[in-house]
Structure 1
Amino acid sequence: MVLLFFYSARSQKISDQFKNEVAALIDEAPRTYERIDSFLRSSRKDTVLMKFVIEQAKKNQYPDAEIYALNHLGRAYRDISNYPKALDLFQEALRLSIEADNLEFRIYSLNMISVVYRRTEAVKSALDYSQEALELAETIKPEDRSKGLKRSINVSLNSIGNIYQLLEQYDLAIEKFNESMKLEEELDNKLGLAINHQNVGECYEATGKLEPALESFQKSLSYNEEINSEKGKVICNYSIAHVYVHQKRMDEALTMLTSSLERAKALGDQEIIATILNNLGWANLNIGDFSKAEAYLQEGLKTAKMYNYPSEISEANKFLSELWMKKDDFKKAMDFYMEFKKYEEQVTNNLNVRYVNDMIVRYEAEKQSDQLKSLEEEVKNQAITLRKNKTMLLVTFIGLALAAGILYILYRQYQLSSEKKLLTLEQTMLRSQMNPHFLFNSLNSIKLYIINNEKKNAVHYLNKFSKLVRKILEASSQREISLAEELETVELYMNIENIRFSNEISFKINIADDIDVHSIKIPSLILQPFLENALWHGLSSKEGEKNIHPDVTKGQEGFINIAITDDGVGRDAAEKIKERKVLKRKSVGINITKERLANFSKDYQNSFHVEIIDIYDDDNKPSGTKILLRIPTI
C-alpha cells in the first residue's frame, strides 16, 4: 500500500491551477508559516506537489517555501515509519532556516527532528531538540509571537511531555500536556487538543487509572472526529480498546481493534499496525482463542522486527511467552520470555540508565572544563600583573626592584606550583571516587531493581545515587567542608555500595555529644577512601555478619579523632587474598588523602596523624582493623 502510494504520487501530473498557486506564493514571498500554509494547506500531504514546491522555491531563491515543503515532505515519510529519510529532510529544513534567519521555521524544524528521535527512542536527543526549540521560542515576547510560533511552543511542550512519559515520569508528563492544552484552547487548535488528551489518557492508563484514561481517550476521539483526522481516530480507537481489555469488555475491544487494524493498514503507519496486532493477540489470549492470538502476535512481532520497534518486539514476546505457558509448552514459553527480557532490558537501558549516565558524564565534563578555564584565566591575569609590577619596579628602583622582582617571581612560582599540585590532587581524588567501575556497578545494581520490577527500590537508590554524584562534584570544587556534609556524603556512598553486598553491612556513624559537626572544617572527600579500603579488603572476603562504624570524638586539645572500625578479616589475611586474585584493586585513594591532609595542615598549628591498628580477639586471631585519623582544629 505504501509503495503504491508513492508510485501513484510520482506519476501524478501537476495541474495548472497548482502551478498558478505556487507562482502567486513566490510573487508574494511571505515569511511566516501561517501565510505560506494559506496557499499550500490543501496540498501539503501530497509528496509530488511538495517536491514541485521545493524545485520552484530553489529556482526562485525563496528558501521559506522550500523549508515549509521539506518539513511536510519529512512528515509524510515519518508517518510511514521511514525515519532516516524523514530525519534527512527535517535536518535540511533546519539548515536552510538558519541560513535564511527564519526563527519560526527553525523552531518548527527542531520540533520535527525531536519527534523522530522520540519515536525511535533516542530520548536524550529528542529532549535536547525540544528544549532548544522551546528556549528559542521564549526569546520572543508573547505579544510579538505569530500564530505559527505559538503552535511551535505547544509542539515543544507536548514533545517534552512525551519524553517524560517515555521515562515513566507520568505526573510531570501530565503537567506539560495540561500546560500545552491551555495554549491550544487559546488558539482553538482542535488537533493539538486531540493529541494532548490522547497523551494524558495514556499516562492515566499507565498508572492504573482506567476511568480517567477512558474519559481522556473519548475526548481525544471527539476532537479527531470533528477535524476528521483518520490517524487520530485509529489511535483513539485502539487506545479505548486497550482499556476495554483491562476492563474485561472483550467483545467491544475485539470489534474496535479489528476495525482499527484495517484502517491502520490503509494509513501505512507500521508502528501503529504492530501495536494493534499485539493488542489483538493480547485480547484473544484473554478469551482463550490461542490460535488467533498466536497468529496476531507472530505478525506483530514480524512487523516490529522489520521496522525495529524494540518496545513492540518486547510486548509481542511477552504475550507469546504467556500463550505458550497456558498451552503447557514451557520450553517455548521460556524461549519467548528470554527474548522479552532481552528487548525489555534494551528499552530500559535506552530510557533510563544510558540517559542518567549521559547526564552525569556531561555534567562532570562541563564542570572540569570550567575549572580548567578558570585556572587558565587566573594564570594569565597573574602573568599580566607580574609584568606590570616588574616594569614599574625596574623604572623606579633598579637595584632594589630587581631583587624584589626575583623574590616575587620565585614566590609566585612556588605558589602556582602548590596550587597546581593541590588541583592535581583534587582531580585525582575526584577520578578515584567517580571511577567508571563504581559508576557502572552502581547503575548495574539499580538496573537489576528495574528489571525485577522493584520500582520503589530502583527510584529510592537512583535518587541516592544522583544525590551522591551531585555532592561529590560539589565538594570537589571546595578546599574544605563541614564535617556534617562529609558524613552525609559517606553515608550516601555506603548506602549505594551496600546494594552490592545485599544490604548485609551494618553501618552506623557515632558522634560524641560534645562534638558540633557543623562547626568543624575538614578537607572535602577524605573519609571515602578509608571506607572503600575497609569494604573491599576487609569485609568483602568475610562470611556472615559485617560491621563498619565511624566514631567521631574529641582528642587532645586542638584535635578531633575519627576512628573507622571494621570487623573484617584483618590486614594480613586481606593481603594474602589479594595476592591470589588475578585482578587486584589498587588503593591509591588513601595515599592521595594523606597528601591532601598534609596540605590542609599547613594552615594549622598542629599536624594530622593517621594510624592503622590491627584488632585481635581473645584467641589472638585477627578480628578487624581500626583507622584512626587525628585532624587538627587549631
Structure 2
Amino acid sequence: MFVAGFICSTSIAGTKIYVDTTAIVQHQLDTVTSIKSDTAKIGYLLNAGSVYRNEWHKREQENPFLIQALELAEKIGDSLQLARVYNAMCVDQRNVARYLLAVNYGKQALDYASTTKDSVLLSTILNNIGVAYRRLDDNQQAFEYHMRALHIAEACGNWRSQAIAINSIGNIYLSTEQYDKAIASFQQSLEIEKQHHNNLGLAINYANIGLALEGKNKYVQAVDYFLKSLSYNELINHRQGKLISYNNLGQAYQKLGRYSLSLDYFQKALQLSDQIGDVIDVADSYISLGYTYLLMKKYPEAYNQITKGLSIAQSIGSKSLIMKAYKALQEYYAAKGNFKQSMEMLEKALNYKDSMLNDKISNRMAELEVLYQLDKKNAAIQLLQKEAYLKDVESNRNLILALSLMGFIVVMVIGGYFVIRHRELKIRQRALQLELQSLRSRMNPHFIFNSLNSIHKYIWTNQPEEASDYLTKFARLIRMILENSERDFIPLSSEIEFLSIYIELENLRCNHSFEFVLQIEESIDTEDVMIAPLMIQPFVENAIWHGLAPKKGGGILKISMKLHEQQKLRVEIEDNGIGRQKAEEIKMQKNPKHKSMGLRLTEERLKLLQHSLPFNLQQTQIVDLIDGNQKPCGTKIILELPVEFAYS
C-alpha cells in the first residue's frame, strides 16, 4: 500500500533535525505482517496510530495505521476489536478538529462495545463522544454522554473514567460560566486523582479550578491553583502542561496588574514553545507579551512584540492568532489616539473573524460529505450482503420473491433517506450563510461610525470619563457579538446582557431621550434557557430609531419575556414612540428605498429554525398602539423564539 511522505522535526541542543518519516511508517506497517495473532496485530496498529497522530504528522487526512487496523478487525469480525478501533478513530478525528466524524466513529464504537461485557471500554467510549460533542458546543449531548460514562464507571469501579467524566462535566459548567458548579466538579475529580496519585490528573484539575476562579474575578486564588498545577507539571516534566501553566499565570498576573510577573511568565512560555518547536504557541506568546506591554503603556515594546507575533501568525496562516494580533493593535492605536488606524485594525480583525466562520462552515460541510459517503458505502455493503443471501436461497422461488421485494423496499428507504439528508444539508448550509450575513448586517459601518463619533465628541468636549465609559461598553458589545455569533444557542442571560449594553449605548447617542424597562418572568432561569443569538436586537433597533428617536424625549422602551408552551420564549418589545404610520412618512422623505436587512434576515432565520422543531412558531406580530383619542401612541412587537434547556 502507498503511504504519502512527510517530514517531522525534532530539536537537540537548539539544532533542528528533520527526518523523513515515510520509511518509518512503511517499516511499521510491514512489521505487522510478522505478528502471528490478529488481536496482537490490531493492538500494534492502534499504538502506532496514536504515535503517528501525536508525534509525526498531525494534519494528514487519514491515519494509515487505523485504516489497516479497521480492515483487519472487519475481516475477523470481532466486536471487541471493532469497538477498540472505532474508539481510536474517534479520538484521532477529534484531535484534528473533525468533531462530526469523531462523533460518528464514537457511536459506531459504542454499538460494538454494547454487545461486549467490557464496561471499562464502554465508559471510555462514552467519555470520548462527550468530549467531541463539547467541542461542537453541544453541551446538552456532551453532558448526557459523560453522565452515562460516570454511571458505568462507578458500577464497575473504574476510577480513571470516573475522574475523566467528572472533570469533563466541570468543563461544561466552565464553558457556560457556571463557575461554582465547575469548581465543585473539579474538586471531586481532584480527590479521585489524589487517591490514586495521578500527578497529571492533579495538574489538570488544579489548572481548571484556577480558570473557574479567574472567571469569578478571584485572580489571587486563581494564581495559587495555577502554581500548584505548574508544580505537578514540573514534577512529571510535562512540557505542554508547563506551557499552559505559564500562559495561565501570565494572564492572571496581567488581570491583577502585576505586569512584571506577567511578562516573566509569558517570556517563559515563549522560551518553552520555541524549544518544543510549536510555532503557533511562539506567535501567541509574542502577542500576549505585546498586550501586557500595552497595559503598561510601554507602547514601542508593545508594538514590537505584537507585530512579531502577527508576522509569525501570517507566515503559518493562523487566522485566530492574526485576528488576536489585529485586536491588540486596534487597542494600541486607540491608546495612541489614532482612531482611524484603530478602526482599520478592527475591520481587519472582523474580516478574519468572518473568514474563520467561513472556514468552519466549509470544514463542517466537508465532514458531512464524508459522512454521506460513509453512509452510501454502508448501504452498498448491506445491498451486496442481501444479494449474496438471495443467491444462497435460489432454489426457493417464493423466498427469492419475498427477499427481492424486501431489497426493493430497502433501496427505496435508503434512497429516501439520502434525499432527505441532502435536503437537510442544504437547509443547514443556508442557515449558516444567513448567520454570517446577519452578523455583517449588525456590525454595519454606520453603527461603528456613529459610536466612534460619540467617543470623539466626548474627547473634544473634554469629557474623558464619559469617552472611556462609552468606549469600554462599545468594546464589550463588539466582543459579545464576536463570541455569540458563532454559537447556535446561547444562555438567555448572555442575550439580556448584550441587549442592555446595546440599549445603553443607543440611549447615550439619543441624549437619554428614553427609559428602558426589562420584565422577565420570575420562573425563568436565564442560565438554563438557551436561545439563538442576536435575534431580538433588530426589533429593538427598529423601535429606538423609528419609534423613540423622532419623539425627542419622554420615550419608554419596554421588553418583557416569558416562557410559552414549554419550548417557546414569548418576547414583547413595546415603545411609546410616534407609531408606524408616522415613521413610514419620515422614511419616505429621507430614504424611500431603504429596507431593514436585519429584520429580514431574522425572519428568515426563524423560518429555517422551524424545520428542526417538533412544534409550530407563531409568526411575528406587529401591533399599532392607540390612545383614547384614537391617535397612534407607539408600537408593540410580539415574537416567539425556540428555546433549549442546558441541563433540564
Which has the greater radius of gyration?
A: 1
Task: Report the TM-score, using the length of structure 2 for normalisation.
Answer: 0.49
